[in-house]
């Protein structure tokens, strides 16, 4: 980082708290490395640190903000990041001086308190906790004694493969969105585990995601080389409006095997399980081994039996399998370090600009994983090209209040997924300030920084005081037993009897217009893949707050 020389006197700035000392972590002839963590005692909307040394330091390099040289012993570091009381501003320093230099440094916050940006008003930890509850609500099968959703009970216990998650407001278990959602959720646990810890939700996250991993393990039969990729008939299921607990229709199973291709779903499932093996490694190594072994077997099978699964059409049908194969290879590379997987992924990757991240298209995920592993410029350019296309001026539509609006089907889903990818890219060192600010602003929009219903309207159900009351979700619309639940509930007036906590609805149109109507399965649909990236972004934002890297936001319609 270039150090500007200025005549600014930092002595004109008043310290907000006592200074802390830097700690030398490494030194050599002519240079040193140090670290520091400064506790925050006041709400800060941007800050300035004073960094002083007891001997001459010619220049310093930091990555948390902009460093300005006052003299050989005095520097300031400035940032527009928001901080709350209880946070810490932690950073590394690289400095240069004469000889085997090991200076003692003192860091003091000298930036004054100011009104917090819109991001400071969001309780991201609460939003994350509620998103976990949504996935618990989607559980199929025999529920555990500690089921946190009192209005849900055992359902479809006689499925050929019991367990798993219902797809959306319906009750089919589709392999493409299941594997896609599980991969993103697992990625968030691997990357932002501290976010779950800080939110007090780590145990809940492990419990929630293990439900789908267990289902995948049951769905894969290594002896038969067969994976169950769908349970339920989409047409019959969608014609039924009622509780999953009351279903008595046939629920046929569909399989991928040596005669029925489906490398898209099999490769995606391998990715999910490989990510899960990393996430569970420190918690339960034996379980992590089970996940990894299944992931390797699935990937090997998919590699030898390429092609997409057509049996999920017209509900879910993939446009190709190379992106899922790349994801599977990269997660196995991360889990094992085996170079053969990295070589495979390089063969599968498409370096074109991705349209968006969703259950069908994992292109940007593959590119990001490859950049993280290799730091090669071709992958960096692909990732940055994606965000350039998503940022203002890049061709995507923005609503008046600032939502990056990709499509009427799950507009919130695509924004949440891209926000998650932006936070991951920032962790890899790609334009951290820009990417983090944009990502948090997208999540802020979803949590209330919009104009609907006079503003402060959360598109995540149960968050805040204003949120959707009529999601397109059968179970939530049904009154308590023994009252019947029929098509009448689809069009019933008034709020759903049960609050579908944590569900992210489809979202507004390109003009910020939204109708809270249960029968509107475009704007008011909920789904496991709608929540996945949004969920991961929430964990990422809690992580940013925990490590003192929360950006200042500037939403167009702040709550």
Write down the pLDDT at residue 18: 64
Distance between CA atoms of residues 221 and 228, nearest Å = 8
Compare 383 and 19 and report the one with higher pLDDT: 383
Q: What are the E-state strand segments in 347-486?
A: 397-398, 404-405
Residues sharing a CB contact under 8 Å with residue 57, sequence separation 6 or more, in sequence order: 72, 73, 75, 95, 96, 97, 101, 103
> Where does the pLDDT of residue 64 fall: very low under 50, low under 70, confident under 90, or very high at 90 and above?
confident
Write down the pLDDT at residue 294: 98
Write down the pLDDT at residue 87: 83
Query: Among residues 136, 159, 525, 529, which one is catalytic?
Result: 525
Average pLDDT score over the chain: 92
Residues sharing a CB contact under 8 Å with residue 208, sequence separation 6 or more, in sequence order: 132, 135, 136
Query: Among residues 233, 407, 516, 520, which one is catalytic?
Result: 516
Average pLDDT over residues 70-80: 82
Write down the pLDDT at residue 58: 84
* CATH for the stretch 4-116: 2.60.40.290
**Cβ-contact 198, 545 below 8 angstroms:** yes
Write down the pLDDT at residue 63: 73
Ranking 74-88, 335-349, 350-364 by mean pLDDT, the lowest is 74-88
Please give the structure tokens belonging to residue 95.
């400095």
Residue-range domain boundaries for the chain: 4-116, 133-152+161-547
**Secondary structure (3-state) at 353:** coil
66 belongs to the catalytic site: no
The answer to whether residue 39 scores a pLDDT higher than 80 is yes
Q: What is the pLDDT of residues 167-190, one digit of tens each?
A: 999 999 999 999 999 999 999 999
pTM: 0.81
> Where does the pLDDT of residue 247 fall: very low under 50, low under 70, confident under 90, or very high at 90 and above?
very high
φ, ψ (nearest 5 deg) of residue 429: 95, 10
CATH number of 133-152+161-547: 3.40.640.10, 1.10.238.10, 3.40.50.300, 1.50.10.10? 1.50.10.10
Ranking 187-196, 302-311, 405-414, 547-556 by mean pLDDT, the lowest is 547-556
525 belongs to the catalytic site: yes
Distance between CA atoms of residues 119 and 1, nearest Å = 28
Q: At what angle do helices 322-336 and 285-304 cross, to 10 degrees?
A: 140
**Cβ-contact 125, 112 below 8 angstroms:** no
Q: At what angle do helices 432-446 and 528-547 cross, to 10 degrees?
A: 130
Write down the pLDDT at residue 119: 42
Average pLDDT over residues 398-407: 97
Average pLDDT over residues 239-252: 96
Please give the structure tokens belonging to residue 546.
């925990």
φ, ψ (nearest 5 deg) of residue 193: -55, -40
Burial group, residue 482, by CB count within 10 angstroms (0-12, 13-18, 19+): exposed
Write down the pLDDT at residue 5: 31
> Where does the pLDDT of residue 13 fall: very low under 50, low under 70, confident under 90, or very high at 90 and above?
very low
Residues sharing a CB contact under 8 Å with residue 508, sequence separation 6 or more, in sequence order: 399, 403, 405, 411, 412, 450, 452, 459, 514, 523
Containing 46, the helix (H) or strand (E) segment is: strand 44-53
Compare 13 and 235 and report the one with higher pLDDT: 235
């Amino acid at each position: 980082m270039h150090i500007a020389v200025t005549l600014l006197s930092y002595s004109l700035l008043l310290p907000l708290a006592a200074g802390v000392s830097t700690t030398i972590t490494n030194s050599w002839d002519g240079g040193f490395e140090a670290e520091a963590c400064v506790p925050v005692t006041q709400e800060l909307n941007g800050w300035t640190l004073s960094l002083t040394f007891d001997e001459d330091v010619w220049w310093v390099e930091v990555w948390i903000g902009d460093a300005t040289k006052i003299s050989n012993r005095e520097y300031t570091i400035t940032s527009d990041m928001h901080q709350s009381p209880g946070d810490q501003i932690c950073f590394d320093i690289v400095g240069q001086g004469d000889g085997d230099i090991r200076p003692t440094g003192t860091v003091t916050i000298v930036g004054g308190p100011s009104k917090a940006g819109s991001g400071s008003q969001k309780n991201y930890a609460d939003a994350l906790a509620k998103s976990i509850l949504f996935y618990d609500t989607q559980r199929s099968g025999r529920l555990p004694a500690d089921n946190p959703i009192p209005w849900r009970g055992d359902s479809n216990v006689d499925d050929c493969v019991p367990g798993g998650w219902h797809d959306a407001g319906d009750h089919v278990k589709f392999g493409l969105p299941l594997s896609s959602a599980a991969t993103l959720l697992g990625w968030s646990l691997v990357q932002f585990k501290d976010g779950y810890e800080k939110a007090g939700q780590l145990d809940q996250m492990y419990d929630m995601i293990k439900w789908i991993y267990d289902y995948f393990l049951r769905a894969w039969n290594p002896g038969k080389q067969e994976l169950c990729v769908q349970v339920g008939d989409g047409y019959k299921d969608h014609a039924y409006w009622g509780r999953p607990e009351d279903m008595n229709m046939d629920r046929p199973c569909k399989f991928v095997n040596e005669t029925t291709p489906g490398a898209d779903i099999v490769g995606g499932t391998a990715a999910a399980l490989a990510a899960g093996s990393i996430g569970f490694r420190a918690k339960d190594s034996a379980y992590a081994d089970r996940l990894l072994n299944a992931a390797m077997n699935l990937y090997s099978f998919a590699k030898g039996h390429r092609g997409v699964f057509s049996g999920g059409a017209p509900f879910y049908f993939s446009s190709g399998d190379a992106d899922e194969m790349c994801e599977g290879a990269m997660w196995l590379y991360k889990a094992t370090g085996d170079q053969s997987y990295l070589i495979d992924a390089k063969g599968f990757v498409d370096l074109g600009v991705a349209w968006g991240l969703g259950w069908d298209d994992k292109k940007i995920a593959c590119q990001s994983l490859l950049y993280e592993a290799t730091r090669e410029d071709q992958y960096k350019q692909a990732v940055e090209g994606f965000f350039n296309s998503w940022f203002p001026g890049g061709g995507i539509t923005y609503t008046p209040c600032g939502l990056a609006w990709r499509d009427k089907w799950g507009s919130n889903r695509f924004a949440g997924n891209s926000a998650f990818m932006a936070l991951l890219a920032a962790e890899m060192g790609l334009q951290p300030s820009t990417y983090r600010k944009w990502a948090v602003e997208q999540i802020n929009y979803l949590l209330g920084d919009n104009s609907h219903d006079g503003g402060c309207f959360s598109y995540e159900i149960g968050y805040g005081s204003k949120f959707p009351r009529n999601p397109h979700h059968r179970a939530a619309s049904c009154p308590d037993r023994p009252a019947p639940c029929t098509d009448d509930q689809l069009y019933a007036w008034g709020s759903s009897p049960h609050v579908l906590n944590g569900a992210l609805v489809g979202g507004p149109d390109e003009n910020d217009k939204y109708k809270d109507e249960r029968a509107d399965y475009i704007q008011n649909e909920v789904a496991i893949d709608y929540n996945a990236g949004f969920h991961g972004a929430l964990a990422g934002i809690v992580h940013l707050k925990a490590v003192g890297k929360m950006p200042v936001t500037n939403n167009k319609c702040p709550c």
